[in-house]
Amino acid sequence: MFATVATGLLLALSAEVAAEDGKTKFGEFIAQTPPQPAPEVAFTDTDGNPANLARFKGTPVVINFWATWCAPCLKEMPSLERLQARLDGRLSILAISEDRAGAKVVNPFLANLGLEKVKVYLDPKSEVGRAFAVRGLPTSVVIDAEGRVVGRVEGGAEWDSAAMLAALEPLLPRSPR
């Protein structure tokens, strides 16, 4: 228990320090120029089945790194759910939990969140988080359809806001008419 709380505090403090670097604007999309290939990473779904980013190639992806103990993470979840419902088929949102206890903690928690559209995955050893250089939670990484990291958001965000939709729109395939 102490380790979980200590890890949470360290992640929260590291996010504050990261914001002081002058580049980070909490909750805002920061473009990565030039885009870089996303790391090859593996994770599991909440049932323990293996998954990876390759299965999402051809579709823009938002990877949201979160944890059950992270209040800003939980605050932004409803907006991620609304965004996924709005852009279903044009964008995939992967909510990757960094909880060390994995499914044992995440599955009961998910029952209370009521997520129906956002897909939840597990990264209990934080390997995926390290591969994407996550400095604090929540952090979201935006990947284009070609598998390149094109930007990130550090800190909680309103994912279905006009500003965020404007940042994501150029990445999305045209919607069928």
Q: Identify which of 100, 85, 117 has the alpha carbon closest to the alpha carbon of residue 1.
A: 100
Q: What is the mean pLDDT of the chain?
A: 88
> What's the DSSP call for residue 30?
E
Q: How far is CA 130 from CA 26, 51, 52, 112, 158, in A?
A: 19, 17, 15, 28, 24
Q: Give the pLDDT of residue 25.
A: 81
Q: Which CATH number fits domain 2-17+25-171: 3.40.50.11030, 1.10.150.120, 3.90.420.10, 3.40.30.10?
A: 3.40.30.10
CA dihedral 57→43→151→74, nearest 10 degrees, is 120
Domain ranges of the chain: 2-17+25-171
Mean pLDDT of 27-39: 96
| Tokens found for residue 62 | 């938002």
Q: Where are the alpha helices (DSSP H) in the chain?
A: 2-19, 71-87, 103-113, 127-131, 162-168
Residue 102: pLDDT band by 50, 70, 90 thresholds? very high
| Tokens found for residue 91 | 């964008």
Global pTM?
Answer: 0.86
Each residue's pLDDT tens digit, 132-164: 999 999 999 999 999 999 999 999 999 999 999
Separation CA 66–CA 154 (nearest Å): 11
Mean pLDDT of 37-63: 96
- Under a CB-based contact definition with an 8 Å cutoff, are residues 85 and 114 in contact? no
- Under a CB-based contact definition with an 8 Å cutoff, are residues 83 and 91 in contact? yes
